[in-house]
Amino acid sequence: MNKKWNYSSFGIPDSYFIRGKAPMTKEEVRAVVMGKLRLQEDNIFIDVGAGTGSVSIEAALKLSKGKVYAIEYKEEALNLLEVNKNAFELNNIEILKGRGKTELNKIEAFDRIFIGGSGGELPWIMDHALQHLSQEGRIVITAVTLETLTSALHGLKDKGFQEVEMVSIGVSKGRSTGNYTLMEAQNTIYVLSATKR
């Protein structure tokens, strides 16, 4: 299918992305993440640990006057990121190769930041985000482990973010086997979000 991004700029099925072994925020959780980001079309948005780039791409399609910085350091994910960026014919995504800590310092100001994977740098990134986010800017974090959840939740509160919120999302997907529909569970994802005010 060519010109996939023309099909819909709001809501992209998982199957539209080229996927490897890089982790990908699944469709339903990605929808929740996009909602919590509360993007405006002229926003500067940073995706830390972009993986296959599904969040970067869905955001880029919405940011008709804005820009996405996709930070990633793993070689395989970087390749997929490039491939997907090209498949969706997007020119408002800039891929930054490196660790969050290093690359974030290269971006002067931003309005939205999503941290899907942080490799242990989460506290530093939260501090940086609080300093450099624009007023009313939004931070969204996903966690799959109890320790990241705790660190993110208490970090957001202690550092002084406002409107701190945490939800858990448990998705099961119906799979047909003959005349039966089996519900296949995905692991629960925790989505944290807050506003800089």
Residues near a second copy (CB under 8 A) are 7-13, 27-28, 30-32, 34-41, 62, 136, 144-150, 153, 165-174, 177, 179-188
Sheet of strand 67-72: strand arrangement: 93-97, 67-72, 44-48, 110-115, 133-143, 189-195
CB of 70 to a second copy, least distance (A): 18
CB of 22 or CB of 34, closer to a second copy: 34
**Non-local CB neighbours of 159 within 8 Å, separated by 6+ positions:** 126, 127, 130
CB of 59 or CB of 96, closer to a second copy: 59
CB of 27 or CB of 103, closer to a second copy: 27
Nearest to 56 by CA among 42, 40, 72: 72
CB of 28 or CB of 94, closer to a second copy: 28
CB of 98 or CB of 165, closer to a second copy: 165
CB of 126 to a second copy, least distance (A): 17
Cβ atoms of 59 and 39 within 8 Å: the answer is yes
CB of 120 to a second copy, least distance (A): 10
CB of 16 or CB of 78, closer to a second copy: 16
CB of 24 to a second copy, least distance (A): 14
CB of 51 to a second copy, least distance (A): 17
**Residues for the chain: how many in total?**
197
CB of 1 to a second copy, least distance (A): 11
d(CA 18, CA 93): 17
Nearest to 114 by CA among 66, 75, 155, 56: 56
**Non-local CB neighbours of 72 within 8 Å, separated by 6+ positions:** 49, 50, 51, 78, 81, 95, 96, 97
Structure-token pair, residue 86: 């090209």
